[in-house]
A and B are shown apart, each in its own frame.
Chain A
Amino acid sequence: MFEKTDYDVVIVGGGPAGLWSARKFAEEGLSAIVIDKKQEIGVPVRCGEGLGNTWFNRLNLTPDPDWAVQEMYGAALWSPSGKKLEIRFPEVSGYLLERRIFEKDLARRAARAGAEIVTKTYVTDAIKEGTFARGVKARMQGEKVEFTGKLVVAADGFESTIGRMFGLQNQQTLYHSDSGYEYEMAGLKMDDPDLIHLYFGNEVAPRGYVWIFPKGKDYANVGIGIGADNPKTAKYYLDKWVNSSPVCKGASIVQVNGGGIPVGGMLKNMVGDGIMLVGDAAHQVSPIHGGGMGLAMEASNVMVEVAAKAIKAGNVSEAALSEYNTTWWNLRGYELEKLVRIRQLFEKLTDKDMETFAAAFTGPELLKFAYSDKITSAALATTKLIKHPSLLKLALKYLDADPKE
């Protein structure tokens, strides 16, 4: 099956970050292996499975009908009382993915480029040489194997135990995590499967939202993300919502999944001697909506560029690899840190605040607000404040939100 156990790069975790990185390393002429503990790449799916066009463009990725199963034209945001803010684009704005097929495709591409992948292989221990990461010990389907390399990449998701094995502090705090639960449901009665539907409210999903991501006319990924420190479970809130929603009446749950989501902003330091973190393990997730697929793959590009240079120069020290920190933070880090503040505002909104907002804005206005220059946005905000003085309270909550909290 495989002839050697010594590589340039040992990647732990075969999700979008690990598989994307593996292909990139191979394209750089480096040997790479992806080690995944699961029996099958792409399963289980811990994800809402939506990917916007921005990401397809940034990643130079072409939507393949094998896995880009449904076109997405925008979003419908539902207030607690059921008022809808509809944001609809004239053209396709993104796709809903069959992620298990998408990841298989990423694996195929990685293998085609020359990378290796092993499944049902569980990492048990770190291999170190002084302060340097040099590989991992693993149980591979009953066999003990040591995978060694010049560099270890921890792409092991929210669990992020690999980074910690090598002394990197990438543990998730409860406050900065979301708890997610999701169903794949068949036989849904959806009015508008061209849009993703997001449902807000402190009784619906405290510090989060319920989503319907349609993957067909009557088939969708229906899930929830809530603040992880909630005393009730994500399942409790999702079941409550599903049981009372006319959309889900009579529908069947054909798959159950869940997971933690690192929404508190990205790690400042993602490298050590001979080790790099990428994807959820580096908290590369949007603090607003919890999506991380696009960021994980884009960060992989940045990481591989730095890593390949370091490996070829024979220096994989923390100092040499730290260019990944600076490049990535300049590219996305600071942008996302601003979103942490918006997230903190969102967490402070009462149901009444949400209704105020939903009553004041229309979908097209929201779009205009988001995509206009500062002066146009400010003018629109001022007009809205005059018409809806209660919006001022929301603005003050925003100014009060401290991103360092």
Chain B
Amino acid sequence: MKAQCNTDKCIYCGACVGVCPVGALTLDETRIVIDKKKCIGCGACAKICPAGAMTVKEGE
């Protein structure tokens, strides 16, 4: 299970970055960058995401 970001919905607010317990997320200048090696698929990012852009799905 890994985090994914739907860029159509993302408003680049960085809420997901603030709650990621393993520091797998960063808000680069214009996009959310997900470090899939660090991501533990806990879903905190998906829960806080106010826009419903972050999801946790099966995958690499």
Find out whether the CB atom of B21 lies under 8 angstroms from the CB atom of A260.
no
Find out whether the CB atom of B19 lies under 8 angstroms from the CB atom of A172.
yes
Residues of chain B at interface, number, CB under 8 A:
23
Is B49 interfacial (CB-CB < 8 Å)?
yes
The minimal Cβ–Cβ distance linking B20 to chain A, given in whole angstroms, is 8
- B contacts with A: majority SS: loop
Give Cα A181 to B16, complex, Å.
13
Assuming the A-B contacts A161-B26, A257-B13, A260-B14, are A180 and B19 also in contact, with contact meaning beta carbons closer than 8 angstroms in the complex? no
From A120, A164, A174, A259, contact of B50 by CB (8 A): A259
Interface residues on A, range: 20 to 34
Residues of B within 8 A of A179 (CB): 15, 47-50
From A39, A44, A120, A233, contact of B51 by CB (8 A): A233
Query: Which residues 211-257 in A have Cβ within 8 Å of B in the complex?
Result: 228-231, 233-236, 256-257
Residues of B within 8 A of A344 (CB): none
Find out whether the CB atom of A235 lies under 8 angstroms from the CB atom of B51.
yes
Is B5 interfacial (CB-CB < 8 Å)?
no
Q: Which of B28, B48, B51 has the most CB of A within 10 A?
A: B48
Is A262 interfacial (CB-CB < 8 Å)?
yes
Find out whether the CB atom of B18 lies under 8 angstroms from the CB atom of A262.
yes
Q: How many A-B residue pairs have CB under 8 A?
A: 87
Stretch in A83-91, A127-135, A152-160, A364-372 with 4+ CB within 8 Å of B: A152-160
Is B34 interfacial (CB-CB < 8 Å)?
no
Q: Contact string, B7-27, partner A, CB cutoff 8 A, digits 1/0?
A: 000011111111111010011
Find out whether the CB atom of B29 lies under 8 angstroms from the CB atom of A37.
yes
Residues of B within 8 A of A159 (CB): 14, 17-18, 27
Is B44 interfacial (CB-CB < 8 Å)?
yes
From A46, A122, A158, A257, contact of B28 by CB (8 A): A122
Query: Which residues 5-61 in A have Cβ within 8 Å of B in the complex?
Result: 37, 39, 44, 46
Q: Contact string, A165-209, partner B, CB cutoff 8 A, digits 1/0?
A: 000000111100101110000000000000000000000000000
Assuming the A-B contacts A231-B47, A258-B11, are A161 and B52 also in contact, with contact meaning beta carbons closer than 8 angstroms in the complex? no
From A120, A160, A236, A256, contact of B18 by CB (8 A): A160
Closest to A37 in B: B29
Find out whether the CB atom of A259 lies under 8 angstroms from the CB atom of B13.
yes
The minimal Cβ–Cβ distance linking A226 to chain B, given in whole angstroms, is 8
Residues of A within 8 A of B51 (CB): 181, 233-235, 258
Residues of A within 8 A of B29 (CB): 37, 39, 120, 122
Find out whether the CB atom of A161 lies under 8 angstroms from the CB atom of B17.
yes
Residues of A within 8 A of B13 (CB): 44, 46, 257-260
Assuming the A-B contacts A122-B28, A260-B19, are A158 and B47 also in contact, with contact meaning beta carbons closer than 8 angstroms in the complex? no
Give Cα A164 to B16, complex, Å.
15
Closest to B43 in A: A174
Find out whether the CB atom of A173 lies under 8 angstroms from the CB atom of B19.
yes
Closest to A164 in B: B23
Find out whether the CB atom of B52 lies under 8 angstroms from the CB atom of A257.
no
The minimal Cβ–Cβ distance linking A249 to chain B, given in whole angstroms, is 23
The minimal Cβ–Cβ distance linking B14 to chain A, given in whole angstroms, is 4
Find out whether the CB atom of B23 lies under 8 angstroms from the CB atom of A172.
no
Residues of A within 8 A of B47 (CB): 174, 179, 228-231
Closest to B10 in A: A258
Give Cα A256 to B48, complex, Å.
17
Assuming the A-B contacts A122-B29, A161-B23, A174-B44, are A180 and B17 also in contact, with contact meaning beta carbons closer than 8 angstroms in the complex? no
Q: Contact string, A350-390, partner B, CB cutoff 8 A, digits 1/0?
A: 00000000000000000000000000000000000000000
Residues of B within 8 A of A120 (CB): 29
Identify the B interface with A (CB < 8 A). Answer: 11-21, 23, 26-29, 44, 47-52
Pick 13 A–B contacts, CB within 8 A, sort by A. Answer: A37-B27, A160-B18, A164-B23, A174-B44, A179-B15, A181-B50, A181-B51, A235-B52, A259-B13, A259-B15, A260-B14, A260-B19, A262-B18
Identify the A interface with B (CB < 8 A). Answer: 37, 39, 44, 46, 120, 122, 157-161, 164, 171-174, 177, 179-181, 228-231, 233-236, 256-260, 262
